[in-house]
Amino acid sequence: MSLTSYEEKRLQEIRNFEECLQDGFELYSTGKSAIEYHFGSNKLKQVFEAALSSDELRNECIDLADRLFFIIEKDISKHIKNQLEKGLTKDESKLFIRRVGVFWQIYELENVAGLMGEEMKSRMHRLLGEIDQSLLHFRDKAELKNLPTDLISSLESMSIYDRSSPIPQMNRMDLNDASIYKTECEENSEDKESADITNAVNSMLDDLLKGTVSSSEVEKLISLEIFLKSSDSIALSKRLISIWWSLMESNDVNVQKGALRILRFVLLSSRTRDDIVHQFHSLYLEKKILPAFTQSSILSEGNKEITALINNMGSHDEMQKNHEKANLVLCQFHWLALISPEDVVSSLLQRCFIDRRIVAPSVKLLSSLPSLSSLSSPPPSSLSSPSLSSPHCLIMNSLVSIARSADYSISEEREALVYLIGSLTRQKKNGSDNPVIETHKVFDFFVNDSIVSGNEDKLCVALSLLIRLFSTGETKHSVFNFSSSIGQLIDGEVDAPDLLLFLLELMGRTEQAGKINLFELIKKTVKQFGSKLREDKVVWEEETSSFILNKLSFHQWFVKVAVTQWFGSVLGEPKRQIPSGLLACLSRENTLLFDQIVVTFDFSPVECFLRSLYEVSVWDLPFALSFLDLGVTVRPLDDNMADKLSIAIVDVSSNVHSSHWQSLLPFLPLTQRLVNVLDVTIDCRLERMNGAIYHSIHNQRALNILARATKLAFVTNLEEEGRDNHWALLHLFCSVAKSYIDGEVESWRKFQKMKAKDAFNGVASLSMDSGMEKVSSTEYVLTQCSTLFPLAVSLTHIVPKVPPCLQVLLSSISTHLSEFYNRPFPHYLDTAPTGSVPDTTVYAYARGANPAAGDCGEEGGKRDNTATNKLFDMNGRDRSIGIARAINDPTMSAMIEKKLTVNEGEKKGGNSGHSGYSNSNNSSKKKNRNNRKK
């Protein structure tokens, strides 16, 4: 296999980057700038993937990756060593941060298949941990902002989620909170201090067992802010838990309070808080209970502490900015979760359900104690669900309680529940963290339970939750274990084929029942389900795929095409089955990509071609557009093609309810593509034609066809009762037309501002790009408004009463037209002053045969200097006002006529640009008359 120049170029870029790391790396201000200089907008990972596309370059790529890591590992290890021994200077700190930025690019190479071995990956992970420890003691905090965002997120997750990490369990939302570096002597001093405090705590525990406790000593102890050595912390927690019941069974309340204060100190001074929480809860679970000290008399202010904790929480951004506040919230949450997990988790999730802003920081808090995710507790007695008959996750029980108390008829509560549950199941795609609750548990408790209930509101919540759980293309996702065959499940798996069959069956039932909103929600869920399975690279067994394809044959052909398109690789990429009208337009090579649907009745190939495209676009617009991209080899005749397109739109839209016109939105992009592919002509009668007028009419062909289809639907449905697709088409036309014209005018406004700015700076401006060539921007947009306005007005003659959507469209266009008409009129060469000097020469003018031409003698020789085009001159007002008066609705007509009529000041004074010429011309004529009289 010969190498392409592209692959060789990528490989040479990597070689140059290796030389840069060895010699000239100090020349770059940041690691990111060095990457951008050598690879542009690409990442190192993308460049390696491009080079690896050639098998001949694979070995050299592997060697290059190893060498890059060895270089960066050597430099970073050297900097870490210098930091431990003598500290880093400011320049050394900057260079260290640059090296770390490059290391992160190399670290991402572990995800490139076949590039790095397990030993190399292990060394990179170990170096990442050393970098994390080094950054904790980094002096130059200002340099930390140059670290890659992904690296900071990864380090955050390491420090918060890893229970075995030796890093203190502090708030690591930002690395700027890292404490300063401590020398070896200081560390030895801290070890001695930790041992002394441990001995003091043991003495206090002895006193508590004897019933003699010194409150002042305990208060002095809990006021200390220190992290004990891991061994000292573990020893203290084990001893305290071993004697806990003896202390709690004491009749002396002071002993119990003293034990709780010491427990708080032991927890907050530990670097492994989650281990203490897990051991303490296990102690209570042996008696089949959970601690609930916030409800006991020992802590009279316990409930107030929970309320204060939740009230003190802010949004994710607030917690990111205020590190001290975030650390206090984290410590307080760990303490309350230790002594009363049910109350604090329930209260926190209840507030999250009400206030979405605190969901993200709450997820971080719950994730900082992984033992809470596995903490089991019996469900409340009020929950009678069979699936909750045995002890389950504490967090899950709290969610189920919230779900049972929620009012599903209120959309805000449905959305809040879906957002909360979805957030608790999401985790980073790089696997650096774990979700608060496992996705399969949510699926079992919420999705299955809602489906079995038969309640439509609950079913909508379940479908919305599935859409969120199946979301793709984000930094976080919900992890599923999908089965590859029907009925063969292991623990924790979701029966994906069975779920698809259920959704298809449910979709058919809801469509027959006329529940349009639920039908559209199911369709969206099926599409998102296919995207999730493709992203997870799930492939079903051949027998399962054949069974599902057979089931799809009972649905409409476009449903089967759409589902096989969404689940393509999951079903083994079966051929799409399309009608013969579509197949007949393709070339011989492209026909091999599809299977033909055979029918036994006669039909028009052109009608089948157009209608089939519109039918499948309602379900899968990308498929319809990609089909046209294959090329229409056999074209239909351009004989009334605009009318044929309109008829196809009316026929397909007849199955759509008027209240759900949004499902017809794919008609506009498909019609735009069809008029370009088939080169559809539109009849128009204009007084003149130029580039601006041509392109404005050319770009409105699709809107013109939609307007024709709307008129045709209204006329047809007057004769056929029971169809209301005419209202759906009217809503569609008004919506897309308003969006289109507003976008054109907004672009024109931006261009005018840019042109004025360029004129002020002395820079030549180009005209707007309206398609094939540069044309005059003002004339182009004015033509758009002037041609669309009569088109919208014509719809008022076929509707019994102008609906709000059409009123909004007419009002918007008339506002744009008045904006154009009220602008100062431009100067034209025809009306420019001559600058002549009066003399004794007499100029005679012949009187016109038409009296309307004006008297050309001594009375002034008036001439009509206005342009003849009614669309673009001041006389255009008369034409627009005439159209406005033709509107059936008197109120709407008066309102639009008022917008389009110039005020009295304009009528008397005229336009500023034109009136200046008239005044100067009249004064010159008066002087000429005086000279002739003399």
> What are the structure tokens assigned to 767, written together?
């005209």
pLDDT band at 834 (very low <50, low <70, confident <90, very high): low
Q: Using CA atoms, how far apart are residues 421 and 408, in angstroms rounded to an integer? A: 15
Locus of tokens 């009208």: 581
Q: What is the DSSP string of 359-380?
A: HHHHHHHHHT-HHHHH-EEPPP
- Give CA separation, 12 vs 6, 17, 23, 41, 173, in Å: 10, 9, 17, 17, 39
Give the pLDDT mean for 684-712: 81
Instruction: Report whether 161 contacts 434 (CB < 8 A).
Output: yes
Give pLDDT, residue 548.
92
Q: What pLDDT, on the 0 to 100 scale, is given for residue 918?
A: 39
Q: Please report which helix (H) or strand (E) contains residue 558, including its range.
A: helix 557-566
Q: Angle at Cα 334 formed by Cα 332 and Cα 339, nearest 5°?
A: 95
Residue 830 pLDDT? 67
| Predicted pLDDT at 190 | 63
- Using a pLDDT cut of 90, give the percent of the chain over it: 11
Residue partners of 92: CB distance under 8 A and separation at least 6: 79, 82
Q: For residue 478, report the phi and psi dihedrals to the nearest 5 degrees.
A: -100, 130
Residue pair 12/61 in contact (Cβ under 8 Å)? The answer is: no
**Which of 385-394, 730-739, 756-765 has the highest mean predicted lDDT (pLDDT)?**
730-739
- pLDDT by residue (tens digit) across 308-347? 888 888 787 788 778 788 888 888 999 999 999 999 999 9
**Whole-angstrom distance, CA of residue 449 vs CA of residue 437:** 17
Average confidence (pLDDT) over 643-669? 83
pTM of whole model > 0.95?
A: no
Which residue type does 452 have?
A: V
3-state secondary structure of 140: coil
- Residue 649 one-letter amino acid: I
Average pLDDT over residues 173-188: 41
- Distance, in Å, from the CA atom of 482 to the CA atom of 497, rounded to the nearest integer, reads 9
Predicted local distance difference test score (pLDDT) of residue 720: 61
The band of 723, judged by pLDDT with boundaries at 50, 70 and 90, is low
Residues 831 and 914: beta-carbon distance below 8 Å: yes
Give the separation between CA 742 and CA 872, rounded to whole angstroms: 19
Average pLDDT over residues 925-933: 48
Per-residue pLDDT at 760 exceeds 60: no
CA atoms of 113 and 564, how far apart (whole Å): 29
Q: Where are the alpha helices (DSSP H) in 630-687?
A: 641-653, 667-677
Taking residues 235-249, report their average pLDDT. Answer: 89
Check if the beta carbon of residue 650 is closer than 8 Å to that of residue 713.
yes
Residue among 281, 300, 397 nearest 349 (CA): 397
**Integer Cα distance of 187 and 166 in angstroms:** 14
In this prediction, residue 486 has a pLDDT band, given cuts at 50, 70 and 90, of confident
Q: Is the pLDDT of residue 684 over 50?
A: yes
Of the chain, the percentage scoring pLDDT greater than 70 comes to 75
pLDDT of residue 913: 40
Please report the pLDDT score of residue 670 as a whole number: 92
Give the pLDDT score at 845.
Answer: 52
Q: b/e per residue, 897-907, with b = 16+ CB within 10 A?
A: bebbbeeeeee
Q: At what angle do helices 90-107 and 118-136 cross, to 10 degrees?
A: 150
β strands within 751-856, DSSP E: none
- Residue 645 to residue 611: CA distance in whole angstroms: 8
* Rounded average pLDDT over 158-168: 36
Burial class (CB in 10 A: 0-12, 13-18, 19+), 575: exposed
Residue at 30: amino acid letter: T
Residue pointed to by tokens 């042996």: 286
pLDDT of residue 287: 86
Query: What does the alpha-carbon distance between residue 611 and residue 613 come to, in Å, rounded to a whole number?
Result: 5
Q: Which sign, positive or negative, has the C-alpha torsion 443, 447, 449, 452?
A: negative
Tell me the mean pLDDT in the region 648-669. Answer: 81
pLDDT band at 527 (very low <50, low <70, confident <90, very high): very high
pLDDT category, 821, cuts 50, 70, 90? Answer: confident
Confidence of residue 173 (pLDDT cuts 50, 70, 90): very low
CB-count burial class (<10 Å; 0-12, 13-18, 19+) for 572? middle
pLDDT at 861: 43
pLDDT at residue number 320: 76
Please report which confidence band the pLDDT of residue 820 belongs to, taking 50, 70 and 90 as the band edges: confident
pLDDT at residue 613, rounded to an integer? 92
Residue 120 has pLDDT above 60, yes or no: yes
Q: Are 370 and 434 contacting, i.e. CB atoms less than 8 angstroms apart?
A: yes
pLDDT at 879 over 70: no
Average pLDDT (403-431) is 85
Q: Is pLDDT at 650 greater than 60 in this prediction?
A: yes
181 close to 93: Cβ distance less than 8 angstroms: no
Q: Is it the case that residue 278 has pLDDT exceeding 50? A: yes
- According to the model, what pLDDT value does residue 327 have? 85
What phi and psi, each to the nearest 5 degrees, are found at residue 85?
A: -85, -50
- The answer to which of 421-430, 532-541, 669-678, 878-887 has the lowest mean pLDDT is 878-887
Burial 723-756 (b: 16+ CB within 10 A, else e): bebbbbbbbbbbbbbbebbeebbeebeebbeebe
Q: pLDDT of 353-412, one tens digit each?
A: 999 889 989 998 998 888 888 887 755 544 444 444 344 688 888 888 898 888 888 888
- Averaged pLDDT of the chain: 76
Residue 854 has pLDDT above 80, yes or no: no
> Which one is predicted more confidently, 660 or 831?
660
Question: Residue 349: is its pLDDT beyond 90?
Answer: yes
Q: Which residues are CB-contacts of 115 (< 8 A; sequence separation ≥ 6)?
A: 48, 52, 61, 62, 65, 109
In contact, 525 and 463? CB cutoff 8 Å: yes
Confidence class for position 772, pLDDT limits 50, 70, 90: very low
Span 262-274, average pLDDT: 88
Least confident of 99-108, 219-228, 797-806, 821-830: 821-830
Which stretch of 564-573, 638-647, 690-699, 872-881 has the lowest confidence by average pLDDT? 872-881
Task: Inform me whether the pLDDT recorded for 207 exceeds 50.
Answer: yes
Q: For 325-370, give the DSSP string.
A: HHHHHHHHHHHHHHH-HHHHHHHHHHHHHH-GGGHHHHHHHHHT-H
Q: What's the whole-number mean pLDDT along residues 453-481?
A: 84
Task: Grade residue 60 by pLDDT with cuts at 50, 70 and 90.
Answer: confident
Answer whether residue 563 shows pLDDT above 90.
yes
